[in-house]
Structure 1
Amino acid sequence: MRVEELLKRPEGKSLEFKQDISAPKNILKSVIAFANTAGGTVVIGRADDGTIVGVDDVLDAEERLANLIADSIAPGMMPEIEAVTVADKALLLIRVAHWPGPFYLKAKGPEDGVFVRLGSTNRQADAATLEALRRLHHTRTFDQLPCAGTDESDLDQAALQRWFAHQKRPLNVSALESLGMLTHQGGRRVASNAGVILFGTTEARQRCFPDARISCARFLGRDKSEFLDRQDMNGLLEALVDVPKFIARNTRLASRINGMQREDVSEYSAVALREVLVNAVAHADYALSGMRFFVSIFSDRLEIQSPGMFPFGMTLENFKAGVSRIRNRAICRVLREMGLMEEWGSGYQRITSSCRQGGYPELEWLELGSCVRVVFPSRLELSTDEPVRAATANDPVSEPVNDPVNELVNERQKWFLDQLKQGVPVKAEGIVQHWGVSPATAKRDIAALRQRKIIEFSGAPKTGVYRLKTKKESAP
């Protein structure tokens, strides 16, 4: 990425700006955090307000930084330090690759001196994170490790019989070891963490992973002030079947006319829901204490939250680009053999394709400290006082918004289209003022209409206007 483009980006998981090197310890923490987490770049010479202030005596500053990194960080690392010129100002770029560490600040020691990157901040690694970083040196992931205090009897034989019968494979000790459900510790055979998480008896799961369950809730409105329905699901494999059923009974079908036929339209893409659920179970951080999955349904959105940030060495940009990094090898293998996971790294593409083809709003992916949340904006945006039920033959059919368009839209989008039909040059600010929603929601409404080729923008960015597209223009 060109330096000019880098300077326009906000600080985040892989980017930090510093005005100068007057606080070297903070720079060192960022270098350590980038190396431990997913790599990144520290840009020196840019102020907090975005002003390019430059670095005085850049060669001397470069040498000081190189010496500081060599003397202050262990194990030894050699990040790339580069001097560049932008707007006649000299900047220093410290490009840090992700490497198995953990790297730490020598002055604080290998226990207290380890930092990781969470969002745009550096955080001291807690005990669980430190252990996860140390596991990167070994070939086995957390789910492949022995589950302390267990033996073969802690696996549910009935559940295993069902799974192996479905896969048309013989169930025996060798097969369980090959699958990673059994392993060895101290000369005896024990259940692995994956074995207990996926196939453990109820008692074993409660003892070893009491929070490895999915909590589902349907709320009345847009916040969590009042429940309409709730259910806890303790078996994760069973939950992959039961969660979609919970969602189906707590969301609604709408109808639209497609030619001469009436077509039912789900509030959320079934393909996207399945992919996000499977991805959550496959890549969750089961080493976190108190971890749990949440499926929260509101009147205007659905959220799926899983424990753990993205795996070390992985960023949201990597994920969207199709890069795959496996956190739980044994769990992923089971899901793949069940046909729930396909090619590594292809899930995001299937999600975006299903939403685009079905006319659903784009999903929002958020890394919030020690969890990842995926937000599904509602295609229908039910009001808070509407009953939640499945569509029936007596449900009203959605009427066309205007002559050239026969698409399902929410109330804000319908208002926006009506304004355009009347010749009013309305933009996102109009939706914000009229409906009292956030600018992000208004822009998302308009983006969905543009994506479905109902409207287009014409003219310069500041002075241009939106207009309705005709049926002929909207046709593929």
Structure 2
Amino acid sequence: MIDEELAEVVANLRRLGADDVDVEAKRASIKLPKTVRETVSAFANTRGGVLVLGLDEAAGFAAVGVGDAAKLSADLGSMCGEELEPPIRPVIRVHRFEGVDLVVAEVPALEPDRRPCFYKGAGLTQGSYVRVSDGDRRLTSYEVQLMLSNRGQPRFDEEPVPDVGLEALDAGMVAGFAARLRERRPHAFAGLATEDVLRRAKVLTGDQVTLGGLMALGAYPQEHFPQLLLTFIHYPTPEGADLATGERFLDNVPIEGPIPVMVADALAVLRRNMSRRATVRGAGRLDTWEYPEAALREAIVNAVAHRDYSPAARGTQVQIEMYPDRLLVRNPGGLFGPVTEDDLGEEGISSTRNATLLRLLEDVAIPGTGRTVCENRGSGIRTMINALRHASLSPPRFADRVSFFQVTFPNHALFGPEIVDWIRRLGERGLTDSQCQGLAMAKNGEVLDNKAYRSASGLDSRRATAELGELVARGLLTQIGGSRWTRYELTPDAASAASAPARADRRAEVLAALADKELNRAEIASVTGLADKALARWLRILRQEGLVELIGESVRSPNVRYRRTGQALLDEARP
């Protein structure tokens, strides 16, 4: 980390008034606090992070410094290497900041097949931590066991169910499944008797049904695993139950059967509980469901197919919860393998906890449809995002924890009539569709950063950065933070759109700053108060209009100066 990045980190902490999920500050003026072990373990078990020693959170993250920076750095390196298992090798540097020394450690995330990192003195179960919001939380014994099982490829879906044989499977589903395999994969299944097809596909092991086979093709899997089901609850208020009326829920349905049946029944229950909305699109209005069915189907399939099927999780259901302002789908077991929240939906990035079950579901049809449960090509998240984008809805929000994974669909259209009117009142010409999406997200109070913008628009990172930068230059967004902490908020004028005409044209201010003088960009910015990107935009416009000219060879040079042209002086002299 360089000094400029540290300054951004500290500025962000002071603005938030608290640590965040990626940064932890500790006073540590004389020696290492014991909680440093917990923080390093938590960062290593999550996605990495930055530990800053010498900042006092209680004093608004004032830089109080450390007494002996060299010793503290050595002690931190020794602790990470000798007291933690596996050893952690953070990058540790001493920075001179606001007149004092700070010790900064960049802690890397451990690869999933090496987690959990734990403090040896407390042991594996008591000494393993994970980062949640702005703090460190001890892992539960279930979470520790889940991390351990995730070091390799879990095989719980291939385990035989004791004393359960072919009679537990649905005969019609088995026949359709076997016929499809013989047709699609003749080299492996043509000519085999049905039981041999089931054994080769790992629906049976010997004469016993596997857990994956039971969930994919069983007549009634809940006879043997009562909690491997879906539950649906429709709550009357955003907080859940209506305390004023005592109404606990509007609908409450347990959804049972094999996975194909549960998917079909869950979609039917959702349709029964959804209303329809009118969405503005172009010059017309489109009548659609609150949530597109394609997005819901993918979320449900992902939840039941990728959930944790280990013995410790077989008492936990997949949950669907509907509120007036959102719908969420939650399953036990977080993301598996190298996939993270940040790269969900990215091309070519996928990982499967239940490899055999997913392979079975490729060839099992959803009742009443001509489609199978899944494609098993890692395309589910992209399909979900694209369906919401096509419906002009906000992108989904993902929450990955060790013990669960959750997807939340906000219940509002990005381009309802109010948002369309607000964008019109901004008075900005030439905005792209994706820029309008980003503005709508910010207006709706959603977190807007490069990742969220890419999810909503489908653009790559480079183009997303350029378009967000242009919105900053137009004075519509304000950039907060830098590097990986960068996010964007609406400027006060853009949020209200009441003073849009005054905000939209800054030519006069720039020309006034250049009256009878030649200035560089920093000097013009000091006079006008314009942000650098906004100033660069107006200087470019004024140069194109022939009212300002460049003194120097390159606009990129920090020393280049600007002056008004003769045309600008003539325009000013005209009555």
Asked if these proteins are the same fold (TM beyond 0.5), I'd say yes
Aligned to 1:333: 359
Query: Contact between 2:41 and 2:118, CA under 8 Å: does it hold in 1?
Result: yes
Could you say if the C-alpha distance between residues 102 and 301 of structure 1 is closer, same or farther in structure 2, counting changes exceeding 3 Å?
Answer: closer
User: Could you say which structure has the higher helix fraction?
Assistant: 2
Query: How far apart, in 2, do the equivalents of 1:340 and 1:17 lie?
Result: 47
User: Are 1:224 and 2:234 counterparts?
Assistant: no
The structure with higher relative contact order (CA 8 Å, sep 6+) is 1
CA deviation after TM superposition for structure 1 residue 51, in Å: 4.0
Which residue of 330, 343, 356 maps to 2:389? 356
> Which residue number corresponds to residue 231 of structure 2?
215
Listed one character per residue, the Cα deviations across residues 217-249 of structure 1 (whole Å, up to 9, x for unaligned) are: 334443334333332211222122222222222
1:205 equivalent in alignment to 2:207: no
The percent identity for this pair of structures is 23
Q: Is 2:55 aligned against 1:29?
A: no
Q: Which amino acid aligns with 1:98?
A: L
Deviation at residue 13 of structure 1 after TM alignment: 5.4
Q: State how 1:124-143 maps to structure 2 within 5 Å.
A: 124-143=138-157
Matched, 1:374 2:385: no
Whole-angstrom CA distance in 2 between matches of 1:124 and 1:258: 48
What SS class does the counterpart of residue 344 from structure 2 fall into?
Answer: helix
CA–CA separation in structure 2 for the residues paired with 1:230 and 1:132: 30
Output the aligned Cα RMSD: 4.2
| TM-score (structure 2 length as normaliser) | 0.60
Residues 292-441 of structure 1 mapped to structure 2, 5 A cutoff: 292-311=317-336, 314-319=339-344, 321=346, 323-337=349-363, 340-342=373-375, 344-367=377-400, 370-379=403-412, 409=416, 413=419
- In 2, distance between residues paired with 1:337 and 1:51? 60
Query: 2-side partners of 1:335 and 1:415: how far apart?
Result: 46
Deviation at 1:200, TM superposition (A): 3.5
Please say if residues 49 and 107 of structure 2, whose CA atoms lie closer than 8 Å, have aligned partners that are also in contact.
Answer: yes
Q: Hey, what's the Cα distance between the residues in 2 that align with 1:125 and 1:149?
A: 35
Equivalent of 1:270, from 289, 293, 313? 293
Paired with 1:148 and 1:265, the residues of 2 have a C-alpha distance of 47
Task: Name the SS of the counterpart of 1:465 in structure 2.
Answer: helix
What secondary structure sits across from 1:77 in the alignment?
coil
Distance verdict in 2 for CA 1:219–1:67, change over 3 Å: closer
How many residues are aligned here? Answer: 414
TM-score under structure 1 length normalisation: 0.71
Shift of 1:276: 1.7
The C-alpha deviation readout for 1:361-413, integer Å capped at 9, x for no partner, is 23222346733332222237xxxxxxxxxxxxxxxxxxxxxxxxxx9626x65
Residue in structure 2 matched with residue 85 of structure 1 by the alignment = 95
After superposition, the C-alpha distances for 1:185-217 in whole angstroms (9 at most, x for unaligned) are: xxx654333223333442x5333x322211123
